Structure 1
Amino acid sequence: MSLRSRLLGPALLVVGVGALGLAGTVSSGFVPSSSAPDGIAFVTPSPVSSLATPALLAAGSVLLVGGTAAAGGTDASARAALVAPALSTVAAFAFGVGLFLAPASVPETATNPAAQAALLSELPALHVAGAVVGSAVAPVVQATVTEDTPALLAGSILLLAAVAVGASHPLSLVTGGVGGAAAVGLLWAVDPDRWRP
């Protein structure tokens, strides 16, 4: 493995983790509330939460996948890049139960039936769909470059499903897509051996 990969991989991982951490600080989520009828309240810490969160989730997950490939000295794989949408989805749900907003209350929030219902109905359209649209850019690009048809189909299906789920929040879809595309663009620039045709 070259010295360049040894330096590039950890740097990309740090940037990816930083993007996910920043997403956590601005992400909307549920926290326990004694004044709410269901014992749970939806909190939006920033007026740009619905725009910034999907973009940061998508970019962070794509950079983690790219950084892992670079750090391991392996070729970037479209099938490995399919992990990016899963990472962004897990992070979005973790932030949705208040991982950053109220860390000590996460078990209480996660077991609240009203929060569970809202997480499955509201959060996917608000943050998850945009994050999946953006992070699915990586496997689609990689599958196109490597001519991996099954991965291309899987990535395309993820994109279409996320667009359908998030249709009521088009700005979230756009910002998520921009975040994912920007992360892939960065990988094309700094790691051309793995990301360019």
Structure 2
Amino acid sequence: MAPSRRRLLGVALLAVAAAIFSLASTVTPGFVPGVETASDLPPFITPSPFSTFAAPALLAIGSVLLVAGAAGLAAVDLSARLALLAPVIGVLVALGFALGFARDPVASLHAVVESGTLATVRSGTPAAAGAAFGSAVAPVVRAATTEDTVALLVGAALLLAAVAAVPGSVFALVSGGVAGALAVGALWVVDPVTWRP
């Protein structure tokens, strides 16, 4: 694929990833900073009944597209090891949303230092686990198509770690896994040179 076409595709993928992360910020369970409760912690809310499904799916898709888009924009080969950044990004963004950084970064920083905050945020870890599980599909697929055994083992370990981290989050794991597979499938269609063996 010509470098100019890859860069255009990278820009498009980054734009889609940004839109998906923006949508994910509205459905990911998290703190509402700047609002005090009786416990001196901001309230931890689940924006909708569909958050259990929607948040991990959106975070997984956004993470996969972000890594693929960045590689395309830089016109570099998306190796399996570079694709391992997708689960890391998914977890960090999920935890950032859970702490309320998308709503009010300053108030969120204040809430982080309060006692009990991290225990409360554990309620939001299913979204992070689902995002990690779903976005780990990308490095596993890339490792399988490029025959990178080390990356394949690390990707498989990430899948298992996501399952073990929150054993009761079956819906989040399934949602994230399906979304991650769909994101990789879409990349097979729009960027076959990079994704297909």
Bin for the TM-score computed over the shorter chain: over 0.9
Aligned runs of 1:180-191 on 2, under 5 Å?
Answer: 180-191=180-191
The one-letter code sitting in structure 2 at the alignment partner of 1:122 is: S
Write the distance in 1 (CA, Å) between the matches of 2:37 and 2:150: 50
Following TM superposition, by how much is the alpha carbon of 1:152 offset from its aligned partner in structure 2, in angstroms?
0.5
Residue 5 (structure 1) aligns with: 6
Is there any run of 5+ residues in structure 1 with no aligned partner, and where?
Answer: none
Q: RMSD in angstroms over aligned alpha carbons? A: 1.5
- For residues 8-47 of structure 1, the aligned pairs below 5 Å read 8-32=9-33, 33-47=35-49
Aligned to 1:110: 112
* TM-score for the superposition, normalised by structure 2: 0.93
**Would you say the 8 A contact 2:44–2:120 is kept in 1?**
no
Identity of aligned residues (%): 50
TM-score under structure 1 length normalisation: 0.93
Equivalent position SS for 1:91: helix
Letter in 2 for 1:20: F
> Partners in 1 of 2:108 and 2:23 — Cα distance?
19
Tell whether 2:123 aligns with 1:122: yes
Partner of residue 95, structure 2? 93
Give the aligned length: 195
Pair 1:39–1:3, CA change in 2 (3 A): closer
> For the residues of structure 2 that align with 1:184 and 1:27, how far apart are their CA atoms?
22
Q: Aligned to 1:100, what secondary structure does the other structure show?
A: coil
| Paired residue type of 2:124 | L
What's the counterpart of residue 83 of structure 1? 85
Query: Contact 2:132 / 2:159 at 8 angstroms: preserved in 1?
Result: yes
Alignment check: 8 A CA contact 1:24 1:99 kept: no
Q: Secondary structure at the match of 1:122?
A: helix
